[in-house]
Amino acid sequence: MVDRRGRVLVADRENHRVEIFDEDGVYLDQWTGLLQPMDLFIDADDAIYIAEAQQRISVYSLDGQLLSRWGEKGIGAGQFSDSPHGLCVDSHGDLYVCEVIGHGRLQKFARV
């Protein structure tokens, strides 16, 4: 994923981090403490949503500040029966998270 600053953000699920590179591939930084990040999405407000394999969603600022985090194992709303593998945010700011393994479901989180 490329942010508005031209940096390339890479989800490194094997090492539990997001790596950040410039447009020439030069390493700049990393965000650690993630649980196998699977996918990234940057919304219109520059919030970076990260789907983590271990039933969690994290939201970061462009500067790497943790803004929000939620999720746990389960089948209820806001819980994940398996690993969130993909996510995106629509023009209304609503978040969609898909779990492709196990129950294979899609959840919508409406912005309030």
Report the pLDDT value the prediction gives residue 95, as an integer from 0 to 100: 96
Q: With beta carbons less than 8 A apart as the criterion, state whether 77 and 106 touch.
A: no
Task: Pull the structure tokens for residue 32.
Answer: 């650690």
Beta strands in 5-78 (DSSP E): 8-12, 17-21, 27-31, 37-42, 48-52, 56-60, 66-70
pTM of the complete model: 0.93
Task: Pull the structure tokens for residue 80.
Answer: 């994940």
Determine the CATH number of domain 36-109.
2.40.10.500
As a 3-state breakdown, the chain gives helix, strand, coil percent values, each rounded to 5, of 0, 50, 50
Q: Which of 58, 110, 60 is nearest to 89 (CA)?
A: 110
Report the pLDDT value the prediction gives residue 32, as an integer from 0 to 100: 96
Over its length of 112 residues, how does the chain's per-residue pLDDT go in tens digits?
999 999 999 999 999 999 999 999 999 999 999 999 999 999 999 999 999 999 999 999 999 999 999 999 988 888 998 889 999 999 999 999 998 765 678 899 998 8
